Structure 1
Amino acid sequence: MLASAMAASPSTHRSSSPPSAGSASDEHGFPPVEPALSLSRWLALVAGGVVLVAVIGWLDYVTGTDVGLSLAYLVPVTLSGWLAGRRAALLLAAVAAVAWFAADAALHRTSYLPVSVWNGVTRLAIYAAIGLLAARVRRDRLRLLDLNARLARALEAERTLARTDALTGLANSRAFFETLHTETARSRRARTPVCLAYIDLDNFQRVNDRRGHAAGDALLRQVADELRRAVRDGDVVARVGGDEFAVLLWNAEPAPAEEVGRRIVSRVAAVAACYPEADVGASVGVAWFAVAPDDDEELLRLADEAMFEAKQGGKHAVVLRTGS
């Protein structure tokens, strides 16, 4: 049965602008990707940008007509758009255009006023466009980072669900056989023991027949909890069939492995005491190899045989078989 479950399992070889109260999404309906700036921080960034514009304007005036610094105003405008959002970018663009116009007028670079005004307006348009572009690029970058993080979390959640038994929360057969393949390969490389316990619940169908499937599901969840408690933290417990479970015991010797099997039988019997009319119990087959065989099927087959021997011997028992 355990070997057939492995055959059925999938084969896998080796987890902005200043804050506005109550704003839950942007104009495209996307939720915010970062906490909104506090008003005080936004004002501080804008004030810093204004100071930088003032310094550049002063340098523009001091250097006279020989050196053109109109592009230098893009630095505070771009930084404001990147750090504080679109409104800050537009505000700094206006301040930068005024500063450039003031320096230009003071130096009489352009004798004809309409031309000077036109030049100031074109610079305002350029500064605003660059500032808005910086704000948009940063917003889109943050959105992409957020979407990537969400996608990674969703993929990890799907991966976990694909490897988890929905009823008991244990590893499912796919996860178990993936782990088994990895650990048998490790056993062969490191020459360490490998041990597999196969558990089949005796007379489980009677619970379904006499008390209904809800009671059967409750029993399976109870058994799963007891199996977790019966093994070490590093051991892998899985539900591999309807009333079939498997435990992969890390680096266990035969005697301790057999003791784990007896503990499982005892814990299942304690749970089954709530269903006296069904005589539920556990037959446990334990297969142990000093080094994992080349074919995982051999380990599974030996655990199967040990479990059937336990059933034929009267059920509610554990049988240990060792391989060579």
Structure 2
Amino acid sequence: MTTTDPIYDQKEALVARGKPLLLTAIVALICGIGWIRFLTGPEFAFSLLYLPPIVAATWFFGLFWGTFSALLSTLSILLADFSLIDRFSNPYIPLANESFRLIIFLFIVFIIFRYKKILARHKELAMMDPLTRIANRRAFFHLAGTEIDRSRRYSHPFSVMVIDVDDFKQINDRFGHDAGDHLLVTVVDTIRRHIRGIDIVARFGGDEFVVLLVKTGEEAAAMVARKLKSRLLKVVNENRWPVTFSIGVATYHSVPENVEETIKAADRLMYQVKHEGKNDIRHAVLKN
């Protein structure tokens, strides 16, 4: 999702500027530890002191810089040992020792790198609906909260749309759950093709979807709702799925206290449509 929030952009710029400084600090720390090793002699290996910069390089910069930091750490020890070669009983001892240390360092780099990837994957799965691959309820509250705070800051209107698939249960009963899953994925694909990249779509329930239309007033929201309903009906008719869509849309010119409140109004409007015959759109503008 893209954003044009200047405060967000400033934070991203600060992070980007901070990374080169952090990388420089990591390299300097590794070289400093090597220098201490040189001053103290071969009795003290200081291997554990290399782990924090190696772990930091891997965590913040990835596998390449983690490997680089491991190699640089090993090289700093090796250079210190070579400068003190006369204090070893055998000139091959430093090579043997540092080869072993390099293997340990690289193993730690790999473990940290894999752990971060697994952590990122678990975080992604926790925020994603497994069937449709869009945001789930938890992710929507997080993403929408950020966008709504931005709307409050800059006094932008926004709209929330709740879309429910009418008579979805009969798809599963008549055609099987695979057909029901295919219908839901098709609905999501259709919605995503007809909203902007900055808008947020999430699956809230079995056949209920919520769309946050960023910087969208009543006229634009009504147009999007009509377009989506038309496209969705066309798709289900082409697939001969006997379903329709009940849609509730709430447009806000002032922001409620929390994200849940913004959804409740659109949800109530959607249920009014269902109780009054389904397959329609109900839209309200909230300016209080």
Structure 2 match to 1:322: 285
Once residues 285 and 144 of structure 1 are traced to their aligned partners in structure 2, the CA distance between those partners, rounded to angstroms, is 53
Structure 1 match to 2:190: 226
Aligned sequence identity (%): 35
The higher radius of gyration belongs to: 1
Q: 2:274 aligns with which of 294, 297, 311?
A: 311
Partner amino acid, structure 2, of 1:268: L
Q: 1:149 aligns with which of 98, 110, 113?
A: 113
Once residues 259 and 196 of structure 2 are traced to their aligned partners in structure 1, the CA distance between those partners, rounded to angstroms, is 23
Once residues 305 and 311 of structure 1 are traced to their aligned partners in structure 2, the CA distance between those partners, rounded to angstroms, is 10
SS in 2 for 1:188: helix
Partner amino acid, structure 1, of 2:151: S
The answer to which structure has the higher helix fraction is 2
Q: 1:160 Cα deviation (Å)?
A: 0.9
Q: TM-score, normalised by structure 1?
A: 0.59
Structure 1 range deviating more: 303-312 or 167-176? 303-312
Partner amino acid, structure 2, of 1:308: Y
Structure 2 match to 1:166: 130
Once residues 260 and 212 of structure 2 are traced to their aligned partners in structure 1, the CA distance between those partners, rounded to angstroms, is 14
Q: 1:275 Cα deviation (Å)?
A: 5.5
The number of equivalent residue pairs is 212
Q: 2:152 aligns with which of 184, 188, 192?
A: 188
Structure 2 match to 1:197: 161
SS in 2 for 1:130: helix
Contact 1:194–1:249 (8 Å) recurs in 2: yes
Q: Deviations over 1:260-306 (max 9, x none)?
A: 11122112211221464x63011111111113112333211210122
Show structure 2 runs of 5+ residues with no match. 1-40, 42-70
Q: Deviations over 1:183-214 (max 9, x none)?
A: 22222222222211100001111111111111
CA spacing shift, 1:249–1:157, aligned 2, 3 Å: same
SS in 2 for 1:273: helix
The answer on 1:299 being equivalent to 2:262 is yes
The answer on 1:176 being equivalent to 2:118 is no
Once residues 123 and 320 of structure 1 are traced to their aligned partners in structure 2, the CA distance between those partners, rounded to angstroms, is 83
Query: How large is the RMSD of aligned CA atoms in angstroms?
Result: 2.7
**Structure 1 segments of 4+ aligned residues over 3 angstroms from their partners:** none
Q: TM-score, normalised by structure 2?
A: 0.66
Once residues 269 and 275 of structure 1 are traced to their aligned partners in structure 2, the CA distance between those partners, rounded to angstroms, is 10
